[in-house]
A and B are shown apart, each in its own frame.
Chain A
Amino acid sequence: MSGECNDQQDPVNRLLATARGDAVANPFRVTGVMMQYYYVCQRELWFASRNLEIDRENSAIVRGTRVDDSSYGDRGEENLRLGMISLDLLEDGRVVEVKPSSALTEPARMQLSYYLWYLDRVAGVERDGVLAHPTERRREDVELTPERAKKVEDAIRKIHEIVSDESPPEPEEKPFCDSCAYHDLCWC
């Protein structure tokens, strides 16, 4: 019995219960973007979890939206929304995640891995993924191996820890800070 009680406290189980629409006392959601932020910048993750607005005129944001819309205009216009996740597009049964550049590959890989994990655990659908960088004409296959699934679940627990905190992690100067939509909010 006590084991079941602990299970309810585990963020991964809470997330799954939330996603399945079970009655959960304290629902917990992780979006694909949150998973990406966790690997890019944990302060950004905290800001995003509080809906602190980003600078929409930020050139990187504008660019990302444009690459998304223009490269796959006919198919990608409607993102496929599935509970907490929003897939860029499905192609030959594979989940494709579109990124403007390959500058931050691991975060994008984990975002996609999270989608695959979510599809598998919540919808019971096994899918492979493709990371696409249309501007660079590069693609990379991503598969949900047991190691990746574990990495996703560990990340979910860490994300829970960060977003439950009253205050964000301290700012930390990173090479890509300059192009971040939260830059001014972070450093002002």
Chain B
Amino acid sequence: MDRNYHVFSDGRIERKDDTLRVVTDDGEKKHIPIEHAEAVFLHGQIDYNTRLIGFLNDHGVAAHVFGWNDRYSGSLMPERGQTSGRTLVEQVRAYDDPDHRRDLAASFVAGSIHNMRANVTYYNGRGHDLSRVITDLDNASERISSGMRVEELLGVEATARRAYYQTFDAVLPEAFALEGREYNPPPNPVNSLISFGNALVYANCVSAIRATALDPAVSYLHEPGERRYSLSLDLADLFKPLLADRVLFRLVNRKQITTDDFRQEVGACLLTEDGRTTYTRAFEETLEETVEHPNLKRKVSYQYLLRLEAYKLKKHLVAGEPYEPFKKWW
């Protein structure tokens, strides 16, 4: 499976013959084999030109851009194969049909709660008593009913996530107390890690969605907003526990990330470059982990699970076959 490449330094990314080349401001040159790239993630201040865009397009490689505070600020998406009026029409139709939209929103919430529960169950069996959180998640799950409005479903999701976040304080050392989820900007290390991880999950979902001709701005659980890819938010919720949260728990508990990996900046707590590098490496390793897929009958990477989710949604919208949200099955 193709992988992501991250550029943290400032400099320039360019086409050099038939490869991608990063030239950093201190003169270091790195090559990225484009045949094996899914996307490049640009975290630093990077220059590029139109020749690069054409080259990325020819190889179907996306470039995701991150700004200050590791906030996702946009993507250069390959054009190839991503235009399908019929798909967009079906996608909007489903949004416009209250019952259909509700069913999809309910699926996303059910899947998200299931995947949060999978993480809690794991730590519950490892010296932490999290049975209360499990009960809360199960209650939230049972509240999902077909008659619910989307706002109510969002409420169920929010309640579940609040309960789920208690796991963080139970499992993580004191220096990484969550003290409630806050972002814009994140006030402490664990909030900062959650934000960074979620942004990576989100950008990977943008890539997966854009590989299918679905429009990333037309969503079901989240309200289609302006200036953001809200369908990516719908899908990202399913995968945050598996990807972002697992990496966070692992790195902090193994002391691979410590409070030294953060710096305080006008009310924000941000990862240092070292911290981001450590996190990103672990995140990419997680994306490359594989699991036996019961229907495809072969091993697939976690990253490919995102692509499959986009396929499933598209198939549901265009072919009318039922949509089953991703629920960790192992």
The answer to whether A50 and B318 have CB atoms under 8 Å apart is yes
Within the complex, the shortest CB–CB distance from A48 to chain B, in Å, comes to 12
- Kindly identify, within residues 166 to 184 of chain A, every residue whose CB is under 8 Å from any CB belonging to chain B: 166-168, 183-184
A53 within 8 A of B: yes
> Which secondary structure dominates where chain A touches chain B?
loop
Query: In the complex, which of the residues A50, A166, A168, A185 contacts B311, with contact meaning CB atoms closer than 8 Å?
Result: A185
| Size band of the interface chain B makes with A | 20 to 34
The answer to whether B81 and A187 have CB atoms under 8 Å apart is no
Report chain B residues within 8 Å CB of A5.
Answer: none
B296 within 8 A of A: yes
The answer to whether B60 and A166 have CB atoms under 8 Å apart is no
| A53-B84, A56-B60 known; A168-B296 Cβ under 8 A | no
The answer to whether A167 and B321 have CB atoms under 8 Å apart is yes
The answer to whether B318 and A53 have CB atoms under 8 Å apart is no
A60 within 8 A of B: no
The answer to whether B81 and A56 have CB atoms under 8 Å apart is yes
Chain B CB within 10 A, most for which of A50, A166, A183: A50
Report chain B residues within 8 Å CB of A168.
Answer: 319, 321
A112 to B315 Cα, complex, angstroms: 30
A187 to B314 Cα, complex, angstroms: 13
Q: Which residue of the partner chain A has the closest CB to B305? A: A188
A2 to B314 Cα, complex, angstroms: 42
Query: In the complex, which of the residues B81, B87, B311, B321 contacts A184, with contact meaning CB atoms closer than 8 Å?
Result: B311
Query: In the complex, which of the residues B60, B211, B296, B318 contacts A52, with contact meaning CB atoms closer than 8 Å?
Result: B318
Report chain B residues within 8 Å CB of A183.
Answer: 296
| A53-B84, A56-B81 known; A188-B319 Cβ under 8 A | no
A169 to B241 Cα, complex, angstroms: 35
The answer to whether A166 and B320 have CB atoms under 8 Å apart is yes
Within the complex, the shortest CB–CB distance from B311 to chain A, in Å, comes to 5
Report chain B residues within 8 Å CB of A46.
Answer: 319
Could you tell me how many residues of chain A have their Cβ less than 8 Å away from some Cβ of chain B?
Answer: 15
- Kindly identify, within residues 286 to 330 of chain B, every residue whose CB is under 8 Å from any CB belonging to chain A: 295-296, 307-308, 311-312, 314-315, 318-321
Q: Which residue of the partner chain A has the closest CB to B314? A: A52
Query: In the complex, which of the residues A50, A51, A53, A187 contacts B319, with contact meaning CB atoms closer than 8 Å?
Result: A50
Q: Which residue of the partner chain B has the closest CB to A50? A: B318
Report chain A residues within 8 Å CB of B84.
Answer: 51, 53
The answer to whether B212 and A53 have CB atoms under 8 Å apart is yes
The answer to whether A188 and B213 have CB atoms under 8 Å apart is no
The answer to whether A50 and B321 have CB atoms under 8 Å apart is no
Report chain B residues within 8 Å CB of A51.
Answer: 84, 86-87, 213
Q: Which residue of the partner chain B has the closest CB to A186? A: B315
The answer to whether B60 and A188 have CB atoms under 8 Å apart is no
Report chain B residues within 8 Å CB of A166.
Answer: 320
A52 to B214 Cα, complex, angstroms: 11
The answer to whether B81 and A50 have CB atoms under 8 Å apart is no
A37 to B314 Cα, complex, angstroms: 21
Within the complex, the shortest CB–CB distance from B49 to chain A, in Å, comes to 26
A184 to B305 Cα, complex, angstroms: 11
Within the complex, the shortest CB–CB distance from A144 to chain B, in Å, comes to 34
A56-B81, A184-B307, A188-B311 are known; give 9 further A-B pairs, CB within 8 A. Answer: A50-B86, A51-B86, A51-B87, A53-B81, A167-B319, A167-B321, A168-B321, A185-B314, A188-B308
17 pairs, A vs B, C-beta closer than 8 Å: A46-B319, A50-B318, A50-B319, A51-B84, A53-B212, A53-B213, A166-B320, A167-B319, A167-B321, A168-B319, A184-B311, A185-B311, A185-B314, A188-B295, A188-B296, A188-B308, A188-B311
6 interchain residue pairs of minimum CB distance: A188-B308, A187-B295, A167-B320, A185-B311, A188-B311, A53-B81
